Amino acid sequence: VSVNPHTLQSQTQPSCYAVGDCADAISPRHRTASQAAWTGFHAIRNSVVPWILRVGSRSVHPCVPRVIYTDPELACVGLTHSECDAAYGNDGYDSVLLYEDGSDRADMERTARKTSLSFLELRAKKGGGRVLGLTCCGPAAAELANSVGIAITNQLTARDIARSVHSYPSYGYLLHRVALSMALSDIWGLLEACGPVGTFLARIGRRMQALGGIFAKLLGAVRFDGRVGRSS
């Protein structure tokens, strides 16, 4: 059913609403039971609540975990590698991959399961560190995807995850290790780890670095235009 993505109303029958798999506003990969429940609630809300109270609210959730409940579980949430490449370019985001094998939790359960199959990969925007996506495989992959989905929805950064203490040796501790690796991967992250003053200086440094990148692109564009003008 063709619907308005903001209201879930039918394009041909405004008095009717469509939710779940039958609504074309929901992408095929997000057609899950949880998305159906989300859109079902919002369709009912949209039919009775005045529009002024709904301004800024999304009827279709943009971040739904995709999980395959095999053994071990395989999960993904947020942007994939190819989507990050398309949106930010190869140099516009960071990606860290970590295998569970060799961790204390893997050593504890080595005889009970194949720990060599478990891994976690986190993707975050370069500079700001905003979490973009996660791909993971393991006995608690769905739960990790849920946690990262919260981070994506609330626009949290890898540094926010790194600052949250995780229980040890839980399955989620692997996520903490990856986030910590991202948070401390540059001088600004190391400054932030020093305390409030370091955090203030790091924010200024990141903004200056971002401005420098913008000026460099503009200068490169001007030089390119000059070469094209001379050659023509």
Which pLDDT tens digit goes with each residue over 165-177?
A: 889 988 989 999 9
Which pLDDT tens digit goes with each residue over 108-129?
A: 988 888 888 899 999 999 877 8
- Supply the pLDDT for residue 231: 55
Tokens at 229, concatenated? 């003008």
Is pLDDT of 150 > 80? Answer: yes
- Supply the pLDDT for residue 62: 82
Q: What's the 3-state SS for the chain?
A: CCECCCCCEECCCCCCECCHHHCCCCCHHHCCHHHHHHHHHHHHHHHHCCHHHCCCCCCCCCCCCEEECCCCEEEEEECCHHHHHHHHCCCCEEEEEEECCCCHHHHHCCCCCCHHHCEEEEEEECCCCEEEEEEEEECCHHHHHHHHHHHHHCCCEHHHHHHCCCCCCCCCHHHHHHHHHHHCCCHHHHHHCCCHHHHHHHHHHHHHHHHHHHHHHHHHHHHHHHHHHHHC
pTM of the model: 0.77
Is pLDDT of 232 > 70? Answer: no
Which pLDDT tens digit goes with each residue over 43-91?
A: 888 888 888 888 878 888 888 899 999 989 999 999 999 999 999 988 8
What is the average pLDDT value for the chain, to the nearest integer?
A: 85
Which pLDDT tens digit goes with each residue over 177-214?
A: 999 988 888 888 888 888 889 888 888 888 887 787 77
- Categorize the per-residue pLDDT at 95 as very low, low, confident or very high, splitting at 50, 70 and 90: very high
